[in-house]
Structure 1
Amino acid sequence: MFAKLPLTALRGFESAARLGSFKAAAQELNISAAAISHQIKNLETLLGVRLFERSSQSVRLSADGECLHTYVHRALLDIQQGLQVLSPSCVAQSLVVSTTPAFASLWLIPRLGGFYRLHPEISVRLHSSNEVVDLRRDASIDLAIRALFTPDPQLVEQPLMDEYFGVYCRPDWQPPATGAPVELIDVPWLSSSAVTVDWPAWCAKAGIGDWLESARLRRYDEEQHALQAAIVGHGLVLASQVLVAEAVARGQLIAYRPEIRLAGARYTLVCVPGRERQPAVRAFSEWLLAQGALGG
């Protein structure tokens, strides 16, 4: 039944399609770029279609190539999973999850112990970066958690929780005396809404624009640093309710004027089609979605 399947060429094609480069595919498979080119040319001849659009500087998938890559990638993932199930050395499963450093340290890591108690056989390795990883090119990443602004039709997406921004302070924080400057902790935030997430936007919505005339701004580049500054009493912080949830649960911070909110993004789980069926990915996704359903 499968005697005529060009498995070697399909593996070379999948690597080149995922990495967007014949040279990168050759390095991944430890063969020459000429061999990759030859395999793909033979595959194109066999199918009677052009799989890549070639130029002097790059290659990119054609419409037929995009279609074939979806099927081939899923099939190879299934084969890989089948081999892992039968391999004694793979009894302990591993999972690589990509997310931002702030989400990893402030939300995910404090909850990971609950996942390990349910699934001690799965080891989670975190890939933390503020850069969006191209999951179709980096096969080492199983799953990503993103604050998503626009859907990606080429990925499987599962909504985790919606984000909003509010102001938080220490439980013992007291408003400054009349005329005295208020201390505001400032950190850059991104939002999917038309409203910018910053102190002027929040103050305008709260009807206290005069705060900004004399405010002392404490500026930080990292969300973790801004929240830590608020916890130790350096002032009010405008923050994501997702990232501040752990500090609120511990009683380190409380919401100030909780009725004033600015819209944020939607945290979403994303993976390459086919990976959502892998047992470790499915187990982690189900656990994570249950955590999100608890309200962050």
Structure 2
Amino acid sequence: MFAKLPLTALRGFESAARLGSFKAAAQELNVSPAAISHQVKSLEAFLGVRLFERSSQNVRLSADGERLHPYMHRALLDIQHGLQVLAPPCVAQSLVVSTTPAFASLWLIPRLGDFHRLYPDIDVRLHTSNDVVDLLRDASIDLAIRALFTPDPQLFEQPLLDEYFGVYCRPGWQPPTAGSPIELIDVPWLSSASVAVHWPAWCAKAETLGWLDSARFRRYDEEQHALQAAIAGHGLVLASNVLVAEAVARGELVGYRPEVRLVGARYSVVCVPGRERQVVVRAFTEWLLVTATGEWE
């Protein structure tokens, strides 16, 4: 049934398509770039179509290559998953999770000990960056946790947490006396073209635009630094309910006028279609959902 399938060429094609380079594919598969080129050419001859557009500078997928790559990636993931099922249960399995530094430090890491207790044989490794990793090209990342305004149709998505933005302060904070400037902690928050997440938007909704005329702004580039400043009593912070949840639970911050909210993104678990069926990915995703649901019930 499968005797005529060019499996070696298909693996070479998938690697080159995902990484966008014959050289990178050769390094991943421990062969020469010429071998990858030969494998791709043989696959093109087998199919009778051109899979890559070649130039002196680089290679890129053709329209036919773009159509073929998702099928090959899912098929190879399924094979890998089938092999993992047969691995001895005592052998530790690794899981690489990509997310932002803020989500990792403020939400995920404080809760990760529970996952370690439930799944001691799964080694979770965090890849933190504010840059969005291309999961279709970087196979080293098993899944990502992202704040999304628009879903990516090329990825499997599992919604996790709905986000909104409110103002928080240290317990016991008192508004300044008349004529004194109010201290506002400012940090750039992720937003979309149709959703503004900043102090002018919140003040407009709260009918406190007068604050902006004399406000003393404390500006930070990182979300976790802004929250630490608020915990230290340096003023009010406009923050994500998701990222501030741990500080609120510990009593370090409280909501100020909690009825005034700005719409945020939706935190979701995303991965390449097919990976959601892998044992370790499924276990971690299910744990995330149970943890998130328990907090927001």
Whether TM-score is above 0.5 comes out as: yes
Query: Structure 1: which 4+ aligned runs deviate by more than 4 Å?
Result: none
Q: Structure 2: which amino acid aligns with 1:235?
A: G
1:7-86 matches, within 5 Å, as 7-86=7-86
Matched, 1:285 2:285: yes
Q: 2-side partners of 1:204 and 1:16: how far apart?
A: 51
1:254-265 equivalences under 5 Å are: 254-265=254-265
Deviation at 1:219, TM superposition (A): 0.8
Question: Is the 8 Å Cα contact of residues 147 and 266 (structure 1) preserved in structure 2?
Answer: yes
Take 1:247 and 1:133, find their aligned partners in 2: how far apart are those partners?
28
CA distance in 1, matches of 2:142, 2:106: 21
Q: Deviations over 1:45-101 (max 9, x none)?
A: 111122122233232222322232222212222222233333449721110000000
Match of 1:235?
A: 235
Which amino acid in the other structure matches residue 104 of structure 1?
Answer: A
1:87-166 aligned at under 5 Å gives the runs 87-88=87-88, 91-166=91-166
| 1:295 CA displacement | 4.6
What is aligned with 2:205?
205
Distance 1:229 1:245 in 2: 16
**Partner-residue secondary structure (3-state), 1:196:** coil
The number of residue pairs the alignment matches comes to 296
Counterpart residue type for residue 266 of structure 1: R
Segments of structure 1 that go 5 or more residues without pairing to the other structure are none
Contact 1:192/1:263 (<8 A) preserved: no
Distance across 2 between alignment mates of 1:247 and 1:81: 38
Aligned counterparts of 1:34 and 1:113: Cα–Cα separation in 2: 47
Alignment partners' CA distance in 2, 1:35 and 1:8 = 10
Deviations 1:200-234 (A, max 9, x none): 11111111111111111111110000000101111
Instruction: Give 1:145-224 correspondences, 5 Å limit.
Output: 145-192=145-192, 194-224=194-224
* Cα distance, 1:122 vs structure 2: 1.2
Q: Is the 8 A contact 1:161 1:295 kept in 2?
A: no
Cα shift readout 1:229-251 (whole Å, capped 9, x = no counterpart): 10111111000010000000111
What CA RMSD, in Å, does the superposition of the two structures yield over aligned residues?
Answer: 1.6
Higher deviation after alignment, 77-86 or 135-144 = 77-86
- Once residues 11 and 214 of structure 2 are traced to their aligned partners in structure 1, the CA distance between those partners, rounded to angstroms, is 63
Q: Deviations over 1:243-290 (max 9, x none)?
A: 000000111100001011111111111101111110000111111122
Give the Å deviation of 1:159.
Answer: 1.2
Task: Tell me the secondary structure at the aligned position of residue 181 of structure 2.
Answer: coil
Query: Which amino acid is the alignment partner of residue 54 of structure 1?
Result: R
Q: Which AA in structure 2 matches 1:194?
A: S
Asked whether the equivalents of residues 184 and 235 of structure 2 are also in contact (C-alpha less than 8 Å), the reply is yes
Distance 2:72 2:243 in 1: 38
- Report SS of the residue matched to 2:163: strand
Q: Per-residue deviation at 1:109?
A: 0.5
Give TM-score, length-normalised by structure 2.
0.95
Task: Tell whether the 8 Å contact from 2:195 to 2:264 is kept in structure 1 after alignment.
Answer: no
Cα distance in 1 between the residues matched to 2:91 and 2:72: 26
Contact 1:53–1:62 under 8 Å retained in 2: yes
**Matches of 2:20 and 2:232 in 1, distance apart?**
47
SS in 2 for 1:294: helix
The Cα of 1:193 is off from its aligned counterpart by 5.8
